[in-house]
Amino acid sequence: MIFLNQLSKQEARNILDYDIFDILNIIKKININKTNKNITYSRNIFLPLTHICQNNCGYCTFKQTPQEADFLLMDKVEVLSTIKKSMKYGCTEALFTFGESADKNELIQEKLSRYNYESMVDYLYDLSKEALNNYNILPHTNMGIISRDELYKLSQVNASMGLMLETTNEKLLKTIVHRDSPGKNPKKRIEFIENAGKENIPFTTGLLIGIGESKNDRIDSLLKIREIQDQYGHIQEIILQNFKPKSGIPMENHPEPPLVDLIKLTLVATLMFPDISIQIPPNLNQKLISLFAFMGADDVGGISPLTMDYVNPESKWPKIKELEYELNSINYNLVERLPVYDKYIDETYLKKEVYEKALKLQKRIKN
């Protein structure tokens, strides 16, 4: 098979314009003699430490103002209580999230001071360390842009981290999508992903599809991720997340992308990244995971038996048994993984305590 990173940008672009017969030929190439028919997932809990965020994205329901928020900052007792409950469900991933630069908000800063912390990163480090040391779970953090020094600090107690590139199209900074979102500047996000590579942090990134970007933008974004991966080798998965309109957001009347666009892009990503898993969010694409498996997608991300998806609260997680049944119908298997992929469970990428816990949990889920 010829991988797309060996082709020209134009040839990559052409795939997004292919008709059904050309698409079927690519699907045949991807699936012929295919031996790995495993689709992976991690069993996680979602811990949104705060919904306060400096960005105001046109598609977001995660951000809340201090006035409308149910809470300003999750306290340590609640976080650890949720982690303890997750042990009954066999969860191995503690997904920590919070709004970007939340600690620039005075009310959040006051809360942190009351808890004897100076920043969100300090607080998160402590929570991650307690989770790592006291429970059979691995922290994974998605926190928006932070400094390289802060990345290094969190890497001491996190198995992996993530940040969506979303798009390389800087023009969207002037539209309803990102015009009041300084952290969504593509240059800043690219630098962050590169910094994670310099620190050898197993990393998840991806594209947000249908927010006003062109087909060329999608190719450019994937090529940028390919370039970063070729240099640092730390990207373990790419998420292709389709925009979903939601009630009350600025973009609630913006159409979601056609299914065929996501299918074609999945084919492109599969060919371009033979070394990286391609994830399609299952709760945004209910009953379509088998279809995307044929396109080459091989991961469905974190699924929580305990907590909701706070980024897409209207979209419930599929039940693991239902996903297994669907995939078994096409002779595929649903296989559990950790938040850090097997090939990164190595002392090059994981600090000592994280590495030892990852080895222990890896052995458990494979037995």
Binding region for [4Fe-4S] cluster: 53, 57, 60
* DSSP-assigned beta bridge partners for residue 42: 302, 337
User: Which of 190, 274, 208, 205 shows the shortest CA–CA distance to 235?
Assistant: 205
Token digits for 292? 């995307």
Exposure of 209 in the CB half-sphere (CA atoms within 13 A): 26
* DSSP-assigned beta bridge partners for residue 237: 204, 277
Backbone φ and ψ of 264, nearest 5° = -65, -40
User: Which of 304, 297, 293, 299 shows the shortest CA–CA distance to 326?
Assistant: 293
Rounded CA separation 68/316 (Å): 23
Cα 46 off chain centre by: 12
Token digits for 330? 């096409």
Collapsing DSSP to helix, strand or coil, 199 comes out as coil
Rounded CA separation 83/130 (Å): 10
99 contacts 62 by C-beta, under 8 angstroms? yes
User: Which of 44, 94, 56 shows the shortest CA–CA distance to 74?
Assistant: 94
